[in-house]
Structure 1
């Protein structure tokens, strides 16, 4: 049914993170397996962010993680975070448009 990866992180470098995301999207065009992403900022804690990334399957997410641009992105992302990012891997069990 699908797979979602949730990445929570704290950063005081939000513009640099967004630029890094744009760069990753450009570099992985035509080869990435991620199909949709949402980036959200905590209303109460403005330096806390949550990124939700959708994939067709767990296997496709793991394939996406092996792309050289993804590895470089992850390394550079860690440098921009104020603490280590937290990753949560989720199998989609229900998907309903509201």
Structure 2
């Protein structure tokens, strides 16, 4: 099965600013239309630990994810995210081995 997911774990006291940064990044990527980009992105807050968040970003492949990561606009987004975080982020790089839809 093809597919790749990157999970970014971070802590922030500025979740609205992180959401605005993500919205801006997405709008610019959609307007540009060039190069690989995520299939979808989900931002989650930890119900059990205030200030802890996760971004789950799905790509068609690991290669497309790495190509996306190498882009300057992705680097700018990452730098902006780091400025809004209360400490370091943790990245998890995961190959999709099963995908089930229960709808």
Normalised TM-score (structure 2): 0.91
The number of residue pairs the alignment matches comes to: 98
2: CA distance, partners of 1:26 / 1:67: 15
Q: What aligned pairs does 1:1-16 form with structure 2 within 5 A after superposition?
A: 1-16=2-17
1:47 and 2:51 aligned: yes
Normalised TM-score (structure 1): 0.96
Per the alignment, residue 27 of structure 2 pairs with 26
1: CA distance, partners of 2:49 / 2:64: 32
Which segment drifts farther, 53-62 or 64-73?
64-73
1:95 and 2:96 aligned: no
Per the alignment, residue 68 of structure 1 pairs with 72
The ranges of structure 1 where at least 4 consecutive aligned residues each deviate by more than 2 angstroms after the TM superposition are none
User: How far did 1:46 drift?
Assistant: 2.3
1: CA distance, partners of 2:24 / 2:37: 16
Unaligned runs of 5+ residues in structure 2 are: none
1: CA distance, partners of 2:42 / 2:80: 19
